[in-house]
C-alpha cells in the first residue's frame, strides 16, 4: 500500500478528565475539537468528514451548531467502550474511500456518580437477574479476575501493582483525574468492593472529551511535521464461548475473548509483532482487566504479568510502557471519550510531546486496546 492510501493523525485535543460541574459534555467536546483543529493547523471548514460518539451526553452531530454549519457529513456512534475507536474507524474508512482528505473524530461523556445504571430488558434478560443482585459490572470484573488469578497463579499483589503504576503515572499527567500516588498497601487495604478487587482497583465513571484530526496520504505531511500513521485498526465482537458481562450462564471453557481476535488482526494488518510495541494503552476499567488484557493482546504470556510488573517493565522507562497517562484508573471512564484518550496519549508519546511522563528513546510503535460490553474489542497500531 502506498503512502497515498494511508491515514494519519495530524492533530489531537483533549478536555481534562475528572469532574467539573461547570461544563457539559458538549462544552468539553467543543473544546477538544477546537484544540485538535488548532493542533493540526486547520479550520473546522476544512473538515470533510466527521464522526462523534457519546454514551449519555447528547447527539454528537449537534456540535455543528457550535462549530459551524458547513454541511459536513457527521456520523453518530454509540458503541460502548469501543465508541472512540469506532469514530476513528468511520473517519479512516471514509478518507480511504475518497469521501474527503481531512476528517475529525470526537468522543465525550459526562456520567453520574457511582456504578452504571442497568436494565435487564435492555440486555435481553429477565427482571430476576437484576432483582437478585447479579447484574453489576463490578461483580463481573471480580469474577473474571478471581478465576484468572487462580488459573495462572497470580497474586493480589499483581492487582495492586497495576493500580499503583496507574496512579503514579496519573500524578504526572495534567489531564488525568486521580493525581495522587497510592502505595500497594493503601490499594490492597482500601474498601472491599468485590474481592479480589478493592475500591482503588476500580476506575470510576467520570467526564471528559477527546478529539483527533485525521488526514489522508500526502495531505498529512503537508499539514504536520510528525504525522502518526494509523497502521491498523481492528474491531471485533465476541464469538461463542467468550466470558462477558451480564452472563447468567457460560459454556464450559476454554473461554475466548474478542480482545484476542482484535489484537491479532491489528498486528497482522500493521505487520508488526507485539514485541515491537514501545508504548501501549490497555483497557483498565479495573486492575484485573489490565492484567488479563496484557496477555490477551499478546504483549506478554499468561501468568507472566506479576513478574513483569514487579520488574518495572510496564513503567514509562520499562520495556513495554503501559497506560503512561494513568489509563482509566487515573482518568476515570467517560465511555465515549475513553478510547480517544488512548489515541491522544499514544500519538503524543510517539511525537515526543507527552503531556505527562515521556517514554524515553523516541518510541516508534504504539498500540491501543479497548474492551467492553457486550463483548467488543478494538485495537490499533500507531507508528511514526
Partner 1 sequence: MTTRLIDESLFEDVEDVEDIENVENRAFDDGHAPRLAGARCSGCGTVVFPRQDSCPRCADGAMSTRVLPVSGRVWSWTLQAFPPKPPYRPPTGGHQPYLVGYVDLGEVLVEALLAVPRADIRIGLPVRLTTVPAYWDEDGTEVVTFAFHPERDGER
CB of 128 to partner 1, least distance (A): 4
The whole-angstrom separation of Cα 264 and Cα 273 is 9
Chain residues that interact with partner 1, rule: CB under 8 A: 114-115, 117-120, 126-128, 130-136, 139, 142-144, 146-147, 150, 191-197, 240, 247-252
CB of 55 to partner 1, least distance (A): 17
CB of 197 to partner 1, least distance (A): 8
Nearer to partner 1, 70 or 146 (CB): 146
Q: Are 320 and 299 in contact (CB under 8 A)?
A: yes
Nearer to partner 1, 97 or 191 (CB): 191
Nearer to partner 1, 2 or 240 (CB): 240
CB of 375 to partner 1, least distance (A): 12
Nearer to partner 1, 194 or 342 (CB): 194
Cα dihedral value 305, 310, 314, 318, nearest 10: -130
Residue 14 to residues 210, 267, 280, 370, 383, Cα–Cα distance (Å):
4, 27, 18, 18, 21
Nearer to partner 1, 150 or 352 (CB): 150
The whole-angstrom separation of Cα 277 and Cα 259 is 16
The region, left, alpha or beta by phi > 0 then psi within -120 to 50, assigned to residue 182 is beta
**Cβ-proximal residues to 49 (8 Å cutoff; 6+ apart), any chain:** 72, 73, 91, 94, 95, 99, 100, 102, 103, 104
Residue 3 to residues 85, 219, 283, Cα–Cα distance (Å):
22, 10, 30
Question: Of 320, 325, 350, which is closest to residue 338 (Cα–Cα)?
Answer: 325
Query: Which three-class secondary structure state does DSSP give residue 280?
Result: strand
CB of 372 to partner 1, least distance (A): 19
CB of 145 to partner 1, least distance (A): 8
CB of 339 to partner 1, least distance (A): 26
The whole-angstrom separation of Cα 172 and Cα 303 is 29
Q: Are 269 and 234 in contact (CB under 8 A)?
A: yes
Q: Which three cell numbers stand for residue 213?
A: 484530526
The whole-angstrom separation of Cα 298 and Cα 266 is 11
CB of 250 to partner 1, least distance (A): 4
Identify the residue whose cell numbers are 478465576: 147
Nearer to partner 1, 98 or 249 (CB): 249
Nearer to partner 1, 153 or 361 (CB): 153
Nearer to partner 1, 74 or 148 (CB): 148
Amino acid at each position: 500500500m502506498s503512502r497515498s492510501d494511508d491515514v494519519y493523525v495530524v492533530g489531537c485535543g483533549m478536555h481534562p478528565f475528572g469532574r467539573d460541574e461547570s461544563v457539559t459534555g458538549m462544552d468539553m467536546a467543543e473544546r477538544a475539537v477546537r484544540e485538535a483543529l488548532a493542533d493540526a493547523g486547520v479550520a473546522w471548514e476544512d473538515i470533510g468528514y466527521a464522526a462523534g460518539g457519546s454514551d449519555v451526553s447528547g447527539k454528537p452531530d449537534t456540535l455543528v451548531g457550535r462549530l459551524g454549519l458547513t454541511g459536513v457529513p457527521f456520523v453518530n456512534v454509540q458503541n460502548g467502550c469501543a465508541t472512540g475507536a469506532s469514530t476513528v474507524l468511520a473517519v479512516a474508512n471514509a478518507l480511504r474511500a475518497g469521501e474527503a482528505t481531512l476528517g475529525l473524530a470526537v468522543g465525550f461523556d459526562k456520567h453520574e456518580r457511582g456504578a452504571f445504571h442497568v436494565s435487564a430488558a435492555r440486555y435481553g434478560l429477565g427482571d430476576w437477574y437484576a432483582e437478585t443482585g447479579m447484574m453489576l459490572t463490578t461483580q463481573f470484573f471480580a469474577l473474571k479476575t478471581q478465576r484468572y488469578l487462580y488459573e495462572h497463579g497470580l497474586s493480589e499483589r499483581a492487582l495492586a501493582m497495576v493500580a499503583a503504576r496507574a496512579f503514579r503515572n496519573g500524578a504526572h499527567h495534567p489531564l488525568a483525574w486521580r493525581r495522587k500516588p497510592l502505595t500497594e498497601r493503601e490499594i490492597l487495604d482500601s474498601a472491599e468492593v468485590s474481592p479480589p478487587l478493592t475500591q482503588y482497583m476500580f476506575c470510576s465513571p467520570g467526564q471528559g472529551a477527546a478529539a483527533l484530526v485525521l488526514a489522508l496520504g500526502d495531505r498529512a505531511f503537508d499539514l504536520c511535521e510528525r504525522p502518526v500513521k494509523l497502521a491498523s485498526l481492528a474491531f471485533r465482537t465476541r464469538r461463542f464461548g467468550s466470558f462477558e458481562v451480564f452472563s447468567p450462564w457460560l459454556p464450559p471453557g476454554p473461554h475466548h475473548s474478542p480482545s484476542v481476535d482484535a489484537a491479532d488482526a491489528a498486528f497482522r494488518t500493521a505487520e508488526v509483532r507485539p514485541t515491537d510495541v514501545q508504548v501501549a494503552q490497555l483497557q483498565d476499567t479495573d486492575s484485573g482487566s489490565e492484567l488479563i488484557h496484557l496477555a490477551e493482546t499478546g504483549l506478554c504470556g499468561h501468568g507472566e504479568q506479576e513478574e513483569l510488573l514487579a520488574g518495572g517493565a510496564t513503567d514509562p522507562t520499562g520495556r513495554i510502557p503501559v497506560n503512561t497517562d494513568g489509563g482509566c484508573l487515573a482518568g476515570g471512564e467517560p465511555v465515549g471519550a475513553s478510547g480517544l484518550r488512548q489515541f491522544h496519549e499514544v500519538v503524543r508519546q510517539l511525537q515526543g510531546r507527552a503531556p505527562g511522563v515521556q517514554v524515553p528513546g523516541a518510541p516508534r510503535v504504539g498500540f491501543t486496546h479497548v474492551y467492553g460490553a457486550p463483548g467488543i474489542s478494538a485495537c490499533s497500531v500507531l507508528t511514526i
